[in-house]
Structure 1
Amino acid sequence: MVTSVGSSILTSLGASSIDTGSLVDQLATAAIADKQKALTNRETANTSRISDLATAVNSVTSFSSALASLVSGGSLYTQPTSSNASIVKVSALAGARLNGLSASIKVEKLATAQTLTAEPLASPATKVGLGTMTLTVGSQTKTITITAANNSLAGLAKAIKDAGLNVTASTITDSTGSRLVIKGATGADNAFSLTMASGNPGEIDRFVYDPNSYDPDNITGLTRQQEAENAEIIVDGVKINLMSALPGSIVTIGSDQPIDAIKQAVSDFVDA
């Protein structure tokens, strides 16, 4: 309709050779150009806002995940502290809530493995004497019997080893002769002794071994013994590792808020 009217007007004006269809299209396009541009600009702006919002959501999600990881791992909980980590190392058990932690520890001696090294004899085949001995490891005891059939240094070592307690026994030979060596596991609970039950004095009783009493590690208000070398002691949600001994030195155990971890979590979020 618009094209027909336009064509009639132009024909009356003597412009029959003009492409009226194209001219009308151009006029129509020009009429809506400003509105089209405004809509396009608005679309671009909205797309940008949506992208920025998506980025913000991702950042918040990342921060939430990082924070949740710190919380679940206990990094944002109050942490135990040690005044000398080279002697006493402390860490919190997973999920432990520490409140008013305060203790003093004095490490006089660390658990070590007991070792018996007997005086040398001529060789592993040297007779050790007949008799019966009692091997005690912790609360367990076994009888060690030496008869004519196993009367030798090697026979004694084998009898101790075959007793099935938590010790090893062997003979070691060097330029000075052959020795019986008995070694136990670490800790007071594995202390061993070898005592006479019956036999001829001056022979098998040369291997009698009765160790000195074990010196415990002292914790204020509490006395504990390490069960093994580098063993862990658990007290009120805190894992305590005794790293070295320094007689007379007192190590203080306390607690601290993880301010640095919180700052780092926030800093990572801001940087993201």
Structure 2
Amino acid sequence: MAIESITKTLGSGSGIDISALVTSLVEAQTATKAAQLTAKNETLTAQISATSSLKSAINSFDTALKSLIRGGAVSTQPTSSNTSLLNVSVLSGASAAGLSAQVEVRQLASGQVANSATVADKSAAIGQGTLTLTFGNTTVVDGEMTAFAAGPGTPVDITIDATNSSLQGVADAINAKKAGVTASILTDSTGSRLVLKSATGASQGFTLSAAETAGHEGLSALAVGVGATGTTIGSAAQDAIVAIDGVPVRRAVNSIPDIIPGIRLDLVAASVGTKINIGSKAPTDALQQAVGDIVDTYNELYAQLKTATDPVTGPLRQDSAAKAMLRSLSDLSTRALVSGGVAGSPKSLSEIGVSTNRDGTLTLNSGRLTNALLSYPDSVEAMFKMGAGLSAQLSSIAVSASSTIYGLGASETRYTKAKTALTEQQTKATEAAEVLRTRMTRQFASMDSAVAAYKSTQTFIENQVKAWNSDS
């Protein structure tokens, strides 16, 4: 408040605009350093932005390629001549190249489904005792179990007492055991019934026996097994049966990954006698598109990197990590991506039509790529395997660029710390300028006061002289 009061009266004695004078003097002493700090701040901001953008760009490139490969678009895919009966897919890391077989879906795997008679109120007590669930192989005729051979598993006991003696309570108690049978309540206009369902496979047939508590009988109405009269079996447990080139094979499930190496068979419907041909289709069009997209993405990233490392205007012109990334990208097209293969097969992008221009960008010779795909489809496809080939090379560049020890990640951390320190310097410089302004203001206020006093004395003397002259 004292300084504010002073600045309002400055110049009243001397007639000089001391406030403007102080501002000019402070700026003259601090302008150079302030300009230097501002310029450094702008440089660091540009460096942080450039490193962040380059890290994001290379990681996006890497992620996009991995997603493309993971989706299977650039891999040979298995085909089915009748997808209404059978679907086929390739397992992760496997190849469908050369696949050729004939499949017949003779039987789908199913689980046992049994249901009780209806009751009017699913919340009303049915009975108490112990239900015992036993798994094994069954024979079912017209909804009735006619034979049962228990499996090696231990039977599961389910206690039913006053707390869970209703139909809903029984269903909840069975589900709580998580024994391999799912219980649910199905309700319609006729009432509610207990529905029990097992997993698929012939060994997943089951019986449910009841040991009733005296005086609380009724659980036997839910029994499932040979001679049971209160339940009906709507679906018997059975294995899937498929014939591969005429050889029958059984499995407990309808999604089968272990009959044909590297191939998953998903059974949709059974049709005895119907032969389904499975083969493979090379991703020729997808690979053409993928290589073109890779060239375009590379050129965008390369241009961004060249701008950032421009020897005159680039914010990262002295950044070793950015220069290392540029070198790594520059020879990407000539690196060997695959090994082995038939004699003369391509092993690098440059050998399938991707050439490097004088300015470092890439160009795709579509005709040469087409010839490579026709002559060496397996070798070209091998360049686009997950964790190998181009994916491995690009991932290595991305990891190096993101490193917080030696990559752009480390550069970004360094620039960020420097900017934080610079901000502190700017704050201190601003505070120092204000201290200087305060000191100068006080000094000139004292001077102005002295000048005012002198002027007052001068005025007094002038008035005295005038009085003396008028008296004479």
TM-score by length of 1: 0.54
Residues 144 and 159 in structure 1, CA contact (< 8 A), matched pair in contact too: yes
Classify 1:161/1:95 alpha carbon distance in 2 versus 1 (closer, same or farther; 3 Å): closer
Where does residue 87 of structure 2 map in the other structure? 89
Q: Please, which of 251, 261, 276 is the counterpart of residue 225 of structure 1?
A: 251
1:208 deviates by 2.3
Classify 1:209/1:181 alpha carbon distance in 2 versus 1 (closer, same or farther; 3 Å): same
- 1:62-141 pair list within 5 angstroms: 79-97=77-95, 101-112=99-110, 114-136=112-134, 139=153, 141=155
Within 2, Cα distance between the matches of 1:92 and 1:170? 36
1:145 correspondence with 2:159: yes
- 1:165-204 pair list within 5 angstroms: 165-184=179-198, 186-188=199-201, 191=204, 193-196=206-209, 198-199=211-212, 203-204=218-219
1:216 correspondence with 2:240: yes
1:111 deviates by 4.1
Amino acid in structure 2 at the alignment position of 1:233: P
Within 2, Cα distance between the matches of 1:149 and 1:80? 54
The structure where helix makes up a greater share of residues is 2
Amino acid in structure 2 at the alignment position of 1:122: A
Which runs of 5 or more structure 1 residues have no equivalent in the other structure?
A: 1-67
The alignment-based identity, stated in percent, is 35
Classify 1:259/1:148 alpha carbon distance in 2 versus 1 (closer, same or farther; 3 Å): closer
Which runs of 5 or more structure 2 residues have no equivalent in the other structure?
A: 1-64, 137-152, 226-232, 292-351, 354-363, 370-472
1:270 correspondence with 2:295: no
Of structures 1 and 2, the one scoring higher in RCO (CA 8 A, sep 6+) is: 1
Q: Please, which of 174, 190, 202 is the counterpart of residue 160 of structure 1?
A: 174
Classify 1:136/1:76 alpha carbon distance in 2 versus 1 (closer, same or farther; 3 Å): same
Within 2, Cα distance between the matches of 1:157 and 1:94? 39
Within 1, Cα distance between the matches of 2:209 and 2:95? 53
Residues 137 and 165 in structure 1, CA contact (< 8 A), matched pair in contact too: no
Classify 1:213/1:166 alpha carbon distance in 2 versus 1 (closer, same or farther; 3 Å): closer
Residues 194 and 207 in structure 1, CA contact (< 8 A), matched pair in contact too: no
Which secondary structure state, in structure 1, belongs to the residue aligned with residue 155 of structure 2? strand
1:120 deviates by 0.8
Within 1, Cα distance between the matches of 2:74 and 2:167? 61
Residues 114 and 197 in structure 2, CA contact (< 8 A), matched pair in contact too: yes
Residues 137 and 166 in structure 1, CA contact (< 8 A), matched pair in contact too: no
Residues 170 and 180 in structure 1, CA contact (< 8 A), matched pair in contact too: yes
How many aligned positions are there?
A: 201
Where does residue 250 of structure 1 map in the other structure? 275
Which secondary structure state, in structure 2, belongs to the residue aligned with residue 132 of structure 1? strand
Residues 131 and 211 in structure 2, CA contact (< 8 A), matched pair in contact too: yes
The structure where strand makes up a greater share of residues is 1
**CA-atom RMSD in angstroms:** 4.3
TM-score by length of 2: 0.34
Residues 126 and 165 in structure 2, CA contact (< 8 A), matched pair in contact too: yes
> Cα deviations across residues 101-158 of structure 1 (Å, max 9, x unaligned)?
4332222343456543311123124443444321246846311233455443233223
> Cα deviations across residues 167-196 of structure 1 (Å, max 9, x unaligned)?
433444443223223344x52289352422
Within 2, Cα distance between the matches of 1:77 and 1:175? 53
Which secondary structure state, in structure 2, belongs to the residue aligned with residue 169 of structure 1? strand
Which secondary structure state, in structure 1, belongs to the residue aligned with residue 106 of structure 2? coil
Amino acid in structure 2 at the alignment position of 1:270: S
